[in-house]
Amino acid sequence: MAANTIFFMIFSLVAIISGFVMITRRHPLSAALSLVVTFISLAGLYGLLAAKLLFIIQILVYAGAIMTLVIFSIMLLNVQEEDLPAEERIIERVSITTLILLPMIYIIGRSFTVIKDGQFPEVSQDFGTIHSVGMFLFTTYSFPFEVISILLLISLLGVVVLAKRRI
């Protein structure tokens, strides 16, 4: 087996298991920590795909910044075990959802077997580098890039409106 495949197996197994742990843990903090593990193994998968920028961003922004924020807010809220509502029949719920999604996994898996070479354009040499992502952001996708700035302004506004004390 190629080293690529072995790493892919390891990363995806870790991602799936920690994802499962995340939705089954009762305490928010342990759920959040297993989410960090999922993010890091996803970053490994991006690295295997040679998407360098995405790999860095996944670790810096998702596993780093966003998760710090999540963990901080959980700690500030100081959620206790007894404050949490009772969760009933969690195993049944998870397995039913999995059953519903299984056909989709099957179809997606099947479709990879019929994809022929040459049906898709080949990835260029500099795929996933900071340079090529930057080129895309400032040419083809410059419009969405600008719209995001408005979106950020709105979220800032929302935070102020919701969190500001009443005058």
Partner 1 sequence: MNYTVFLPEILVLITASIVLFGEWAFKSIDNSTEKKVRNIGFVTLLGMFAALGVLLSFETTGYGLITSFFSPETSTFYSSFVLDSSAIYFKIIILISSILTVLISFKYVSDKIKNVGEFYALICMATLGGMFMSSANEMISMYLGIELISISSYILCCFNKDHNKSSESALKYFIVGGLSSAILLYGFSLLFGLTGFTQFPQLASTFDKFTAPELNAIFLIGVIMSIAGLGYKIAAVPFHAWAPDVYEGAPTPITAFLSITSKIAGFAAISRFFLIFNNSMSEKLVVLVAVLSVLTMCIGNFLSLAQKNIKRLFAYSSIAQAGYLLMGLIPLLMNRMDDSASILFYLTAYIFMNIGCFAAIIYFSKFTGSTDIEAFAGVAKKSPFIAFVFSCCLISLAGLPPFGGFTGKFYLFVGAVNSGYTWLAFVGAVNSVISLYYYVKIIKTMYFVESTKDIKFELPNAGILTAVILSLAGILILFLVPYPFIQMAKMSALGL
What is the smallest separation between the CB atom of 3 and partner 1, expressed in angstroms?
25
CB of 40 to partner 1, least distance (A): 21
Amino acid at 80: Q
Q: Residue 1 Cβ, how far from partner 1 at the closest point, in Å?
A: 25
10 versus 61: smaller Cβ distance to partner 1: 61
The amino acid at residue 129 is: T
Binding residues vs partner 1 (CB under 8 A): 104, 107-108, 110-111, 113-115, 119-121, 139-144, 147-148, 150-151, 153-155, 157-158, 160-162, 164, 166-167
The residue count of the chain comes to: 167
- Taking residue 36's Cβ as centre, other Cβ atoms within 10 Å add up to 19
> Which two tokens mark 149?
């700035």
Provide the token pair at 86: 């009772």
Q: Which CB sits closer to partner 1, 76 or 114?
A: 114
Residue 35 near residue 58, CB atoms below 8 Å: no
Q: What value, to the nearest 5°, has the Cα angle with vertex 42 and ends 4 and 73?
A: 160
**Looking at beta carbons only, is 80 or 111 nearer to partner 1?**
111
Sort 102 into a burial class: Cβ within 10 Å, 0-12 / 13-18 / 19+: exposed
Q: Which is nearer to partner 1, 1 or 155 (CB)?
A: 155
CB of 123 to partner 1, least distance (A): 10
